[in-house]
Amino acid sequence: MLRHDPESVACESGSVDVLIEEIQRFPIPSDELDRYRNVLGSRKPSRPYAFVLGHGLWNDLDLQATVNWIDAIVDATKEQLPYLAEPHAFFPKLILTPNAAGVDKPHEWRSTQGNEALMMFEESVGVEAAKRGIEHLGTWNMSIQSTKFDGVHVDLRGNLVKGMMVLNWLNMLDVERY
């Protein structure tokens, strides 16, 4: 893209800051929450933040652990940045659930992380996310026919599709509300 269509990757607003904070267990250790809070800062930034939560298989698709994890992250965010707790605050949040399992999924994980479990988890997370004002991007359906070299992780093309879907979500945000 950079060689053939460099203008297609340009951002009108200049630079874009991307931060990845890895929090993949619940209860969330206090040092991880402290690190997350420090990254957020304590003032309202000049440009809005968008929060994208990517959920993997870290908790064996335990819905209650996932809900607790989401709530802890959102609560810590609102505590650190109180303007996000105000009614009608511009606080865009998206959660991505895990992709489909592949044929090479290890047998010992198929009962808890196989396709039926993944579909049920995705549907349940979507319901719980909606209750919390969080948008949900389920990736099971888009990934069921993609290549998973180890039965778990999608290939680069599958990750590119997920990345494009997140960029489309970001593009649809009503940033003018900020």
Strands 51-54 and 135-137, sheet pairing: unpaired
Report the Cα 60 to chain-centroid distance in Å.
17
- The answer to whether the Cα torsion of 161, 163, 167, 170 is positive or negative is positive
Q: Where are the domains of the chain?
A: 24-177
How confident is the model over 142-159, as pLDDT tens digits? 999 988 989 999 988 899
| 108 Cβ contact list (under 8 Å, min separation 6) | none
Answering whether pTM is above 0.85, one says: yes
- Give the separation between CA 99 and CA 48, rounded to whole angstroms: 28
Class of domain 24-177: alpha beta
Of 55, 44, 45, the residue nearest 82 (C-alpha): 44
pLDDT tens string 71-113: 999 999 999 999 999 999 999 999 999 999 999 999 999 999 9
